[in-house]
Amino acid sequence: MNPTTDKQKYFIIDFDSTFTKVEAMDELCQIALQNHPEKNERLSQIQSLTDQAMDGTLSFRESLHQRIAILEANKSHLPELIEKLGEKVSESFKRNQTFFDTYKDTILIVSSGFKDFIVPIVTKFGIKTENIYANEFEFDEDGKIKSFDASNVLSEDNGKVKLLRNLNLQGDIYVIGDGYTDYEIKEAGLANEFYAFTENIKRDKVVDKADREAQNLDEFLYVNKLARNISYPKNRIKVLLLENIHQSAKEAMEKEGYQVELLTSALTEDELIEKIKDISILGIRSKTNLTSKVVEHADRLLAVGAFCIGTNQIDLEACQDRGIVVFNAPYSNTRSVVELAIGEMIMLMRGVPKSVMEMHTGKWNKSATNSFEVRGKKLGIIGYGNIGAQLSVVAEALGMKVYFYDIVDRLALGNATMCDSLEELLSISDVISLHVDGRTENTNIIRKEHFDLMKEGVVFMNLARGQVVDIAALVENLKSGKILGAGVDVYPEEPKNNQEEFISELRQIPNVILTPHVGGSTVEAQENIAQFVPHKMIDYINAGNTFSSVNFPELQLPKLQNAHRLMHIHKNVPGILAKINQIFAKNEVNIVGQYLKTNEKIGYVITDINQKYHQEVIEELKNIEDTIRFRILY
Ligand SMILES: NC(=O)c1ccc[n+]([C@@H]2O[C@H](COP(=O)([O-])OP(=O)(O)OC[C@H]3O[C@@H](n4cnc5c(N)ncnc54)[C@H](O)[C@@H]3O)[C@@H](O)[C@H]2O)c1
Ligand SMILES: O=C(O)[C@H](O)COP(=O)(O)O
């Protein structure tokens, strides 16, 4: 049979592990055998019997007989069971009341479970009692469950098939369930399609037989274009996290329902082009270059998270042009970088790295020559942003005199002094620390002529970005002894992963601290980042919020309530808002709220509208000239 639109649609839905997250008989066992010495043993027997019946290795009726005998349950246990089951309705069923309301006449619950507990649960969703097909318990005079109504066709082997045959439904029939008995309906030719429901349990044997897997009810409703409460099933959103991003980011996104893949290494451009095709959310750190070529292949990409501060590795403009929003973690590792910088400057002023190298070769050289306190020394900070400013405060607490230079006016914190030029800062500082960002214009901002301006015996540190310093000039000044010591954490070329060798002219020079780009690599920072960035991206996917994005007009939107949210991203050319509103006016669409923000290149319009509108409205909005991307949310 082929589904057609004009035929009546019937939905045959299983109860245990589909409508609810659990098997009701297992729950009943927990209640009935609460204080029984063999409780655990019997529970696992019941679970095993359920599984055998569900995957088709034991006859259903036999399984039922054995389970009831083990149970020793009583009528008095049922209210507690019903209460428990009510709390354990599958999440996607709970959030799709619209579906139950729309199809209440043709949704049938067909279960091998028992009406005694199914009816009170499913009728709350508007399912009609006469559409509930299930077994019924038989009780003895003390209320003990002694058996089941053997005349009910559902207590027989192949019961669901027999029932469906008797019902003789005319129309398109969809079966949703987690068990083999649900598949058997389709196998018998009594349904158009069988969806293996895997939100609660995934039985491979059943999934293999199914027409499709439905990871939840949203997926089923989306695929079949049926009334639903959310616009797009979250299980369809694929997330790729690279460069060993902290596990808790993966967990946060999985909790949202996304499919998440976490890789330990960065990827090359070609590898990324291959992988990016079906990715909706990408998470990277400083080593993955998201080039315009990669972006061209990123057809489904909605959001990028830089799980670090720097975003120079991302072609922000290319992302913007494709309507891809980029977030970073602007503060989460600031403190970690500052602590490393403070530690390094103390070590370098005391010549510790050189001593360490010598001691490891057995050389004892106790001396105060070229060993200094940091107290009272002049610290020159280049780039007085979040890191530079925090370093300034901590260094002052150590008794240092702080000077800084920035290309924009920055408020001097504490007693710090602003320098008018880079040259001034270079010529007065005892310790120089770089904290500029990695924009292209900052390539080699410290080169030969800048080292020439520095004092003899200066300590030099770069924990910002590798390309901002001319390494050959740094090496020359270290070898000549002009620079007393250097701390370097970042390099123009860095290994892609921990297996690749680190190659640099800086290797083996005494009194140089070389660290593998770990300024922000502390447990605290990585945990903070893994909380901050996923939250931003999830908020964008769920509500359209772009607040604190690094490449999009920033909008902080109210919560979506009783409306559909239409998100229109377009080139910033005159008249787009007018065109959008003309479409709403022409189609008599009621606007609940509207928000617009633009930057130089793009405009971002959010319109919350009344839920009742024609699909043509959406098509017209998508077809407005200069539209970059359109998304609908509910
Ligand atoms: N080593 C690490 O692991 C690590 C960790 C975090 C950040 N970082 C790097 O540190 C950089 C700074 O971080 P932040 O949070 O302080 O960023 P930020 O954007 O808050 O500050 C950067 C500052 O540098 C200034 N600046 C830019 N170019 C300049 C120039 N040529 N001369 C003088 N000032 C200039 C900017 O105006 C800004 O005030 C990041 O962009 C990142 O590249 C490295
Ligand atoms: O930009 C940053 O935050 C730092 O360079 C740290 O990057 P990482 O996450 O790749 O260590």
Q: How far is residue 597's CA from residue 213's CA, in Å, rounded to a whole number?
A: 40
Please report the atom of ligand 1 found closest to the CA of residue 408.
37
| Helix/strand/coil for 543 | helix
The interface predicted TM-score of the complex, written ipTM, equals: 0.99
Q: Which mutation among 284, 309, 548 tests ligand 1's pocket best, with the greatest number of atoms within 8 A of CB?
A: 309
- Counting ligands in written order, the one closest to the CA of 334 is 1
For residue 138, the model assigns a pLDDT of 96
DSSP bridge partners of 405: 382
Ligand 1 atom nearest the C-alpha of 384 is 39
Q: What is the residue whose two structure tokens read 């007693």?
A: 415
- DSSP conformational letter for 269: H
CA distance 147 to 162: 21
Are 237-332+529-535 and 334-521 equal in CATH topology? yes
Q: Reply yes or no on whether 629 is catalytic.
A: no
Which CATH code is given to the segment(s) 334-521? Answer: 3.40.50.720
* Residue 435 alpha carbon to ligand 1 centre in Å: 4
Q: Which residues line ligand 2 (CB under 6 A)?
A: 285-287, 307-310, 333, 517, 520-521
Per-residue burial over 453-470, b if 16 or more Cβ lie within 10 Å, else e, is: ebbeebbbbbbbbbbbbb
Instruction: Specify the residue with its C-alpha closest to ligand 1, atom 19.
Output: 385
- Domain range 553-633, its CATH number among 3.30.70.260, 3.40.1350.10, 3.40.50.2300, 2.30.30.700: 3.30.70.260
Please report the atom of ligand 2 found closest to the CA of residue 438: 1
Give the number of other Cβ atoms within 10 Å of residue 565's Cβ.
Answer: 22
3-class secondary-structure state, position 272: helix
**What CATH number matches the domain at 9-223, 3.40.720.10, 3.40.50.720, 2.30.30.180, 3.40.50.1000?**
3.40.50.1000
Catalytic residue among 228, 350, 517, 570: 517
Q: Which of 331, 282, 289, 347 is nearest to 314 (CA)?
A: 289
What ligand 2 atom has the least distance to the C-alpha of 529?
9
The CA 278 to ligand 1 mean position distance, Å, reads 33
Contact 334/435 with Cβ under 8 angstroms? no
Which residues are CB-contacts of 624 (< 8 A; sequence separation ≥ 6)? 568, 570, 576, 579, 580, 583
What gap in Å lies between CA 97 and CA 604, rounded to an integer?
A: 31
Ligand lying closest to the C-alpha of residue 331: 1
Atom of ligand 1 nearest to the CA of 437: 41
Cα dist. 385→196, 330, 391, 547 in Å? Answer: 54, 10, 10, 20
Q: Indicate which ligand has the atom closest to the C-alpha of 445.
A: 1
Distance from residue 309's CA to the centre of ligand 2 (Å): 6
Which ligand has its closest atom nearest to the C-alpha of 287? Answer: 2
Q: Widest CA span of the chain, in angstroms?
A: 101
Nearest ligand atom owner, CA of 307? 2
Distance between CA atoms of 466 and 446, rounded to whole angstroms? 11
Q: Is 358 a catalytic residue?
A: no
Strand partners, 486: 460, 512
Q: How far is CA 64 from CA 59, 150, 279, in A?
A: 9, 11, 45
Tell me how far CA of residue 498 lies from CA of 114, 262, 285, 311, 516, in angstroms.
57, 16, 14, 22, 9
Joined together, the tokens standing for residue 233 give 């099933």
Q: Of 203, 228, 465, 570, which is the active-site residue?
A: 465
What is the CATH topology of the domain spanning 237-332+529-535? Rossmann fold (3.40.50)
535 given a catalytic annotation: no
Regions of the chain where pLDDT drops below 50: 1-4
**Of the residues 72, 80, 424, 494, which is catalytic?**
494
Ligand 2 centroid to 285 CA: how many Å?
A: 6
Residue of 97, 169, 101, 99 lying closest to 133 (CA atoms): 169
| Ligand 1 pocket test, candidate residues 307, 344, 387, 445, most atoms within 8 A of CB | 387
pLDDT of residue 612: 87
CA quadruple 60, 65, 70, 76: dihedral sign: positive
Q: What are phi and psi of 9, to 5 degrees?
A: -110, 130
> Cα dihedral sign for 421, 426, 432, 437?
positive
Tell me the two tokens of residue 81.
């069971």
Q: DSSP secondary-structure letter at 224?
A: T
DSSP assignment of 292-349: HHHHHT-TT--EEEESSS--TTB-HHHHHHTT-EEE--SSTTHHHHHHHHHHHHHHHH
The domains of the chain are located at 9-223, 237-332+529-535, 334-521, 553-633
- Residue 30 sits at φ, ψ, to 5 deg, of -60, -40
pLDDT on residue 2: 46
37 three-class SS: coil
- By residue count, the chain amounts to 634
Yes or no: say if 20 and 90 are a contact pair by the CB < 8 Å rule: yes
DSSP per residue, 84-116: HHHHTB-HHHHT-HHHHHHTTTTEEEEEEEEHH
The minimum-distance atom of ligand 1 relative to the CA of 442 is 31
Q: State the chain's mean pLDDT as an integer.
A: 96
Of 342, 304, 345, the closest CA to residue 323 belongs to: 304
Atom 20 (ligand 1) nearest CA: 385
> Any residues with Cβ below 6 Å from ligand 1, and which?
309-310, 333-334, 337, 382-388, 405-408, 410, 435-438, 442, 445, 463-465, 489-490, 517, 519-520
